[in-house]
Structures are given as structure tokens and as C-alpha cells.
Structure 1
Amino acid sequence: MPLIAQLLTVLLFTCLSFTARGEKLRIVTEPWAPYVYEENGKSLGLDYETTAIVFKRLGIDVEWQFLPWKRCLSMLEQGQADGALDIFHSAERDATLLYPSEPLSQVEFVMFYANERPYPFRTLDDLKGLTIGTSPGYLYSKDFSESTLFTQEPAPTHEANFGKLVRGRIDLLITDRRVGQHLLDQLNIRDKITENPIIISQQSQFLAVRRNAGMDLLVQRFGAELKRFKREPAYAELSARYGAGPAPEARAASATATGGKTVEQQESGAQ
């Protein structure tokens, strides 16, 4: 059988396994507004809606589960999920996961502070003696995670982290810029909390799937269709709706507190 015919046969088998056989692609993700979240029983978000549109065009049915990030990673490792939405690429994951060539979105990690207790900084050294709110299941850059200059204090949710910041239980918190800005409005605390414009790091988010038969071709098709969709007016409208445009004030202060080293959303050693 010619090579192209073999590839088409594998691709057809993959599609059939999720359609004609009545199976669905099982995708897990953590609520991470405005990228992916649930509101009044409806799934929303820039990356969720983008992914749903791409899969619909590919004729693939998806079963979604919204769970804490550490649980998502555990399900991937145990084969209880086929893929994860809004996951960062890392060399350690290449042995078990496949990534499309096209990312879904770009994350910018920044710090937030309470207006009553501002802590301006330019480098991690400026954070000496402070307590920084973090998120469980997130492993930050080596410089950040191994620093003994400051204390890292995790909270069960992003909302809890902002609550601790308002009450003075932590000095700063680190999260994605758009996630933080979304929560300032959702929690009605925009008059109490401010974003520090220093971008700690930037990282691309992907849809990744487990390395199973035919998944490599599925990933290729997903990446190609995603790239095509992102060139359409519909994607521009979707991006604008979720505030995905660049923040000029943040980009103007492009110096990073970690000297260009990354802060990553990855599993902790306990996962």
C-alpha cells in the first residue's frame, strides 16, 4: 500500500474512533478565565471556544472536564484523559504528549499587589522577606521556585489568592496578566489591587494529547486548522471579546524580574 494511502487509513481510523464508534476525545482543563471557564453552566473562554470550533471543523466530538490543574495532570499520566487544554510545553513531557505546531495563546506572568501595601520591584532580589501567593500544581522557574529570599504560599484557588492579598495575608501574588485582570472585575476589587507592569515571563499555551495511535495526525490537522482559524475575522472578534490584545503599559516595561528566565505552569514534584 502506498505511504499516502497508509497515512490516510490511519487518519480515518482515528476519526472513526471518536465519531462512528460513538467515542469522544476526553479533554481536561482547569478553569483559567478568560482562557477557559464555566459560567451559569456554559463553557466559555478564548482558548475553549477556539478549540471547540477547531474540533467541530475536524468532525471530532469532545468530552470536557474542568478540574484542578494537579488532577488534570494526574489523569493524563494515568491515561484517564486523552489530552489537556492550556498546557505549557516542556521537554519532560515530549515522551508522553504531542503538541500542535500552533499555540492557542500566550501567557504573561506578572505580580499583583494591594494598593494599601505597594511593593515596587525590578528583580527577584527586591522581593527579599516578602510572601508571594502561588498556585498549587504550578512549578515556576528555577530562579523563582528555589529562591530563599522570599516565601511562597500556595492557595487552593486563584480567587483565594486574591482574597489573601486584599486581607494582607500575602504581600504579592503571581499569575497571568489577563487572568488577574479578569478576577479584579469578577471579584469587584479593582479599586484595591494593582498589577505590577513587570512581565516575569511569557509562555505559550497549547492543546496537547497523549501519544496514542493516530494522534500524531490528529495533532497535525488540529494545528493546521487552528492556524487557519486564527487568520479569520471570527478569531479576531473572539480575541477582542476576551481582552486578548497586548497591554501597552506592560510591554513598555519589558524588563523581566528573572533576567529572561521562564516561569512555568507545570506539575509539582508531588504530582
Structure 2
Amino acid sequence: MTLPRALLSLLRPLSLLLLACLSPLAHSERLRIVSDDWAPYLFQENGQPKGIDYEVTNEVFKRLGVDVQWEFMPWKRCLAMIQQGLADGVMDIFRVDSRQAYMVYPDEPMSDVEFVLYQSRTRRHAVQALEDLAGLTVGTSPGYAYGNAFNESTLFRRESAPSHEANFGKLALGRIDLLITDRKVGRYLSRRLGLDQQVEALPLVIARQTQYLGLARKPGREQLAQAFSDELRRFKLEPGYAAINARYIGEDAIPFAVEQQERSTR
């Protein structure tokens, strides 16, 4: 639910008060945030970080006076780094109860994910439910969770690839029958790889999940998470937020106020 502008304006003094109580670490050192390539949300291009959630996060932390250092690595390593306290935050992670012991989440999510299946236009499959995947091979990404029904099914084979781009390459070459990814990620990558006329998304939605900035649980991080959440909620109401989305997904840009969807895990 989107808060009224008047209420949001009243929250700004509270955010400033919270920032005053933040750990000195947040002010004296950069926050080290890790993630994998997850275009168009967050990715590297010519060695430079880009993406919707990258730009939004930088703007929010800039307003809070917090400096950020970004590092990209495989998703499994991201999870290990945050769990071991070797990184200060991880971007675009799903909210999971088992991570509460070592991670703090802002209340306001970064964005929503809709996992769908992609197939080759020349090797179509009549898939309307998970049961229709029987006997097929579906390309996945290591460390990703697509909901219990998909993850635990024994009807089909899951084959992991080192990157989302590799999965699309395998699909185009016929080495897998389908792949699973977020709808926006699939649309963005298929266009960038020149495969948008060769592959297509199926209507079936495997899972809808909400992704967040996750902060390592350290002194002062609860206050930082609250301040980040308040400022992110305000920024989503501004034209600048829609402009960032439009740069990456054009006509598919989401409106200022983002509806909440069900939560799960990446």
C-alpha cells in the first residue's frame, strides 16, 4: 500500500533522527554491497555497474549520506559473503526467515520478480502447468530458488548454467528445452543477445517474489534499514524513479507506486 505524500513528508525528520543514531561505521567507511549480474535490475557493462536497482539504491544512499562500494560475484558466493559478515549488504535478495539471524531487511522492497519459462520459437512446448514439464530439461541458475513446487518436482530435469546469458545460448542451440528466469530479465537479455525473434516467454507464471536490499546484521543496521526504507518509499513517488525504469525497460516501466507481491527466496 502506498502512503500519502503528507505522511511521507512527516517521515523525513524521523529518518534524519535515525541517521543520527547510525553506527559510526556507516559514516566513516563505505558499505560493501555484493550481487551477481541480474540485468536489468543490476549488472556490469564495460566494467561499470548499471541497472534499475543499482541506480535507485545509489540515489537513496546518496540522500542518506552513505557511500557505497559495489562488487559483482556469483550468487552463491554473495550469499556466503553476507552470511560470514564479509560484505555489508547484498542486493536484490528475497526475504527468508532463515536469514533473519544474520540479515536485516528494509521494509520497502526494491522491486518485484515474476519467474516464467522461455522456449525456442522453433521448438515449442504445450506447457500450462508444472505437470506439463514432464521429461523436459529446464535451464536454471545456481543458488536461485523458484518456489518449492518447481524446486522439488521430480517430473523434469533442472540443468544449471554459469550465467543467465549461458542459459539463453543453450536454449537457442537446443541443449535445453526451456529456461526459467524473471520476465524482465528474460526480455532484457533476449533483446541484448539478439535472440528476441528466436525465443519467447510462456504465459505460465512459476512464482512471484519480492526482492530487497539485505544488510548484514551489525550494530546500527536496523536504523539504517529503516532510514533506507523511508527514503526509498519517498523516491518511488518521484518522476526520477519512473525515469530510471524507463531507461532500462522502456514502455514496460512500472508506475511510481509499486504494488507488493508475495515474498519468497533468491
Asked if TM exceeds 0.5, the reply is yes
Task: Write the distance in 1 (CA, Å) between the matches of 2:126 and 2:140.
Answer: 18
CA root-mean-square deviation: 2.1
Task: Write the distance in 2 (CA, Å) between the matches of 1:175 and 1:48.
Answer: 19
1:116 to 111, 122, 141: 122
TM-score by length of 2: 0.86
Output one character per residue of 1:147-190: Cα deviation in whole Å (capped at 9) or x when no partner.
Answer: 11100000011111111111111000000001001111111111
Task: Write the distance in 2 (CA, Å) between the matches of 1:212 and 1:37.
Answer: 27
Structure 1's unaligned 5+ residue stretches are 1-6, 247-260, 266-271
1:211 to 211, 214, 217: 217
Task: Write the distance in 2 (CA, Å) between the matches of 1:215 and 1:263.
Answer: 22
- 1:16 is matched with which residue? 24
Question: Bigger CA drift: 132-141 or 167-176?
Answer: 132-141
- 1:85 and 2:74 aligned: no
One-letter amino acid of the structure 1 residue matched with residue 25 of structure 2: S
Question: Displacement, 1:14?
Answer: 2.9
Q: Does the Cα contact within 8 Å between 1:102 and 1:227 map onto a contact in 2? A: yes
Aligned residue pairs total 244
One-letter amino acid of the structure 2 residue matched with residue 197 of structure 1: P
3-state SS of the aligned residue for 2:253?
A: coil
Structure 1's 211 and 221: CA in aligned 2 closer, same or farther, altered over 3 A?
Answer: same
Q: Does the Cα contact within 8 Å between 2:33 and 2:88 map onto a contact in 1? A: yes
- 2:52 is matched with which residue? 46
- 2:170 is matched with which residue? 164
Task: Write the distance in 1 (CA, Å) between the matches of 2:75 and 2:152.
Answer: 21
Task: Write the distance in 1 (CA, Å) between the matches of 2:83 and 2:101.
Answer: 11
Q: Does the Cα contact within 8 Å between 1:140 and 1:262 map onto a contact in 2? A: no
- 1:192 and 2:195 aligned: no
Structure 2's unaligned 5+ residue stretches are 1-14, 255-261
Task: Write the distance in 2 (CA, Å) between the matches of 1:13 and 1:223.
Answer: 16
Structure 1's 11 and 240: CA in aligned 2 closer, same or farther, altered over 3 A?
Answer: closer
Moved over 6 A (4+): 7-10
- 2:235 is matched with which residue? 229
Task: Write the distance in 2 (CA, Å) between the matches of 1:221 and 1:212.
Answer: 15
Structure 1's 188 and 263: CA in aligned 2 closer, same or farther, altered over 3 A?
Answer: farther
Structure 1's 262 and 18: CA in aligned 2 closer, same or farther, altered over 3 A?
Answer: closer
Task: Write the distance in 2 (CA, Å) between the matches of 1:102 and 1:242.
Answer: 21
Q: Does the Cα contact within 8 Å between 1:54 and 1:229 map onto a contact in 2? A: yes
Question: Displacement, 1:263?
Answer: 7.0
- 1:177 and 2:173 aligned: no
Question: Displacement, 1:140?
Answer: 2.6
Question: Displacement, 1:193?
Answer: 0.5
3-state SS of the aligned residue for 2:127?
A: coil
- 2:253 is matched with which residue? 245
- 1:137 and 2:143 aligned: yes
